[in-house]
Every structure is written in C-alpha cells, then in structure tokens.
A = this chain, B = another copy of it.
Amino acid sequence: MTEFFTVVTPDDAKVALFEHVGPLGESERLPTQDTLDRVTAGEVRSPQALPAFPRSTMDGYAVQAADTFGASDALPAYLNVVGEVRMGEAAEVEVGKGEAAIVHTGGMMPSGADAVVIVENTQPIGDGDEIEVRRSVAVGQHVLQVGEDIETGDVIIPSGYRLRPQDVGGLLALGITEVEVARQPRVAIFATGDEVVPPHVSTGPGQIRDINSYTLAGQTVRAGGVPLLQGILPDDFDTLMARTREALAVADVLVVSAGSSVSVRDMTARVFESLGEPGVLVHGVAVKPGHPTILGVAAGKPLIGLPGNPVSAMIVYDLFGVPTLYRLQGATSVPRRGVVWAKLARNVASESGREDYVAARLVERDGELWAEPVFGKSNLIFTLVNADGVLKVPLNANGLEAGVLVEVRLF
C-alpha cells in the first residue's frame, strides 16, 4: 500500500517532460478572422508599408509649413484654399506656396503640402476661399508618413504567438486574410476509479460523481486544445491499458485522473510504463496539492497522471497540462492573461522544499489587490468555486507573511 517515488521540483518535472515533448509541427491555413486564440505557425511579415500613403492625423488644412512660420493671433498668415481632399480618394489637389487644402483626419495628404494646421487654429475669411492661420506648424506636424507604423517586410507577428483581437485586426489591416496556425492538440481525458459515476447518475453509498473530466475539458479548451472525453474507467489494469492505447492512437496527449488511493495511482504509472518509450519520467512532484503527479511520454506523446482530488487535478493540470498544450502548439510562452500579483492578506504556513498552491480570493482595497486565502478542509471543488485562483508559496519559502506580494494564478 506504500507508494515509492522520487520527488522532483515542479520546474525540474516540467524540464524532464519537455525534453521529450516538442511542437506538433502541424498547421492549417485559416481565414484570419477565424484565428482568435490560435497560435501562429510561422512569423508573419508585412506585405506593405503602413500607412500606405501620407495621412493627416487631424481635421484641418494641408499646407506648406514654411507659410505658417511666425503666424499668431496678432499676425495671422493668409492662405488661399485651393480644394478639399475627400476621404477614401486620392488627393488630386496640389498645394503650392501660399495655398491650403481642406483635409480630414485619416485623409491623404495632397502633394506639395508638408504639414497640417488644425481647424481650431484657423479662421475662414469671406466666402471661405481664404483662411487666416493663427499658429505656425512644423514640417511633418499632424502628418503620418508612409511606413511610419510598419515598413514592407517587417515582422509584424512572430511565430508561436497566440492571436488576440488586436492581432487579428493588425493582420487584416495589412490585407493578410489567411494565416497559418498550429493544429489544436487533441487531448484524451480519462477519469478512473471504481467509486466514480457520471454526473447524471444518483450516487449510492461510497460513490462520487465525475468532475475531473469536465474541469479538465474546460482548462483544455482555454489553452487551445480539443478535449476528447473518454469517460470513466474502473480500476482495472487491462481495461485501462487497452482504452488508453486506443485513445493515444488518435490523441496527442493522454490525461488520466486517477482514483485517490495509492494502489490506483500505481496502476496509472504501470500503464504509462507499458504504453511505450520512455514511459514514466516523473513520479512525484514537490507540490501541494499534487504530490502524486505522474508525467510520462510514449512515442513522443505526453502522458499526464493527475491526482483524483478535483482541486489537485485542476492545479496540477494548470501547472503541467496547460504549458504542455501551448508547447505542442509551438507557442513561445503561455499567455500572460491568467496570472496576477497581489498582496497576501494573512500569513500562510508551508514547508520548505515544496511549492504550495492555496486557493485565494482577490479583493481590492485602497487601490491595491489583496489575495485572501480560502481554506477548505477537504479541498473539494468548492474551494476553487469560492476562489478567484490559487496563490503560490514558492519552493523555498517557510510560509509567507501577510503583506508580501504573491503570484496568483487565476482559475
């Protein structure tokens, strides 16, 4: 009944796993507008300069700056209005010395002009054929030059980058209507345990409902993966072996949330060993909760054995599963969204040599963010339901004192 394993730090565990796990290296070409939250499969360079034509950044008059030098309320400059540049059209008017043309924000600069006087600093005279200019402008003022934002050939989006709404917008601004993105990893998720029944079933004595399949599916979706729920398996080696082998033929990742008892976790390890080389890489991680985590690889596919406790399962999957999904997609980093720093609202005990994660609620006080630990005896799922995330007690801290800045992983 005793479990034997060598415990490694969470960082070392991830290194051990990632030594054998690289990007899937498969991609698909999608319409840019359908690529939100997908990861680029190559860098994207700009096919053009932006702006593509010199633009006014204000409503006003395109002029030759030299004509305005020294202009003031007391001594305005007088310019002839020779036309107007309409939005969306080429500037056909030309601005010579002593001349001005009406321009709108975002409109094209007419040739000859090198600056814009904003409308507030002008005054029409008579029927509007002439204006007074009451402030001088410098050459280039209120004008965007060609390529000032983007030059042709600039890398605008790197490879391995998860696309946000503004990135989709930036690509479309350059006329890039298709993007090569990484294929989404398929994740086979198994719940195991003789005591586990599906959520729609009335539980008998000693039985609990499957939660992990659904929480892990949600985390998988958020990390860009496709969950393939495999249901609940009994604690039987042959069944587990056959079903996981089958699932691994179509999936890119295998996730098994084992029952809570030691013998059952041990069975998961034996299954991982039998699925292929190199088999189990890590059995036991210096993290609480999550100590009995199993990480392995078979035929290049990551195998993740999670504790059965739903809080532990979510925390460990966030620590190892989520980064694995990003790695399979070739992402260079896990999106920052999801980690905040806050001040610890009260002391938290921990043991040195172990990373602790404590469910925490975030509260704003005096313009600062505070993390209040949520303690729950049983660490059941409602600890996380009542929390905004989990705060991290670092490996070599002997507990944390109230007031220190802590990292909170939002859930």
The answer to whether A106 and B195 have CB atoms under 8 Å apart is: yes
Cβ contact within 8 Å between A166 and B410:
no
With A87-B195, A149-B378 as given contacts, are A209 and B175 in contact (CB-CB < 8 Å)? yes
On whether A91 and B166 interact (CB within 8 A), knowing A107-B195, A341-B369, the answer reads no
Smallest beta-carbon distance A152→chain B, Å: 14
**What are the residues of chain B within 8 A of A233 when measuring CB–CB?**
none
Give a binary string over A164-175; 1 marks a CB under 8 Å from any B CB, 0 the rest.
111111101111
Nearest B-chain residue to A177, judged by Cβ: B200
Q: Which residue of chain B has the shortest Cβ distance to A108 in the bound complex?
A: B206
Query: Is residue A214 within 8 Å, beta carbon to beta carbon, of the partner chain?
Result: yes
Residue on B nearest A215 in the bound complex, by CB: B169
A78 to B159, CA, bound (A): 65
Whether the Cβ atoms of A405 and B368 lie closer than 8 Å is: yes
Q: Indicate if the CB atoms of A215 and B165 lie closer than 8 Å.
A: yes
The answer to whether residues A382 and B175 also contact, given A86-B194, A168-B214, A336-B388 and a CB cut-off of 8 A, is: no
**A339 surroundings in chain B (CB, below 8 A):** 340
Provide the A209-237 mask, 1 if CB < 8 A to any CB of B, else 0: 11110111111011000000000000100
| Contact digits for A317-343, partner B, Cβ 8 Å, 1 yes 0 no | 000000000000000000011111110
A199 within 8 A of B: yes
Q: Which of A8-16, A21-29, A51-59, A65-73 contacts B (4 or more CB under 8 A)?
A: A51-59
Residue A148 is within 8 A (CB to CB) of chain B in the complex: yes
Q: Which residues of chain B are near A411, meaning CB under 8 Å?
A: 164-166
- Give A376-408 as 1s and 0s: 1 = Cβ < 8 Å from B's Cβ atoms: 111011101100100000000000000001000
Which residue on chain B has the smallest CB distance to residue A313? B169
Q: Establish whether residues A149 and B53, one from each chain, have CB atoms under 8 Å apart when the complex forms.
A: no
Quick one: which of A88-112 are within 8 Å of B by CB?
88-91, 104-108
A206 and B85 contact, Cβ closer than 8 Å, known pairs A310-B169, A341-B369: yes
Q: How many residues of A contact B (CB 8 A)?
A: 104
- In chain A, positions 133-158 with a C-beta closer than 8 Å to chain B are 144, 148-150, 156-157
| Contact of A50 (CB < 8 Å), options: B51, B206, B217, B380 | B380
Q: Chain B nearest CB: distance from A285 CB in Å?
A: 18
Assembly CA distance A212 to B248 (angstroms): 42
Query: Residue A260 at the B interface, CB < 8 A?
Result: yes
A166 and B261 in contact (CB under 8 A), knowing A106-B208, A200-B177, A217-B33?
no
Write out the residue numbers on chain B whose beta carbons fall within 8 Å of the beta carbon of A170: 211, 381-382, 384-385
Interface: A36 (CB within 8 A): yes
CA distance A212 to B150 in the complex (A): 18
Q: What is the minimal beta-carbon distance from A58 to any residue of chain B, in angstroms?
A: 9
A259 and B87: CB pair below 8 A?
Answer: yes
* C-alpha gap A200/B88 in the complex (Å): 16
A176, A195, A368: residue with the most chain B Cβ atoms closer than 10 Å: A195
B166 touching A381, Cβ below 8 Å = yes
A373 at the interface (CB under 8 A from B): no
B-chain residues with CB within 8 Å of residue A338 when the two chains form the complex: 337
Give 20 pairs: A residue, B residue, CB < 8 Å, sorted on A.
A2-B119, A32-B199, A33-B214, A36-B218, A50-B382, A59-B262, A104-B260, A105-B308, A106-B208, A108-B205, A108-B206, A166-B384, A166-B411, A168-B215, A170-B382, A170-B384, A336-B388, A340-B341, A341-B341, A367-B405
9 A-B pairs with least C-beta separation = A165-B218, A88-B195, A90-B205, A104-B261, A105-B260, A172-B199, A169-B215, A88-B194, A108-B206
Given contacts A150-B382, A157-B385, 6 further A-B contacts (CB under 8 A): A1-B59, A87-B193, A104-B263, A149-B376, A173-B381, A175-B200
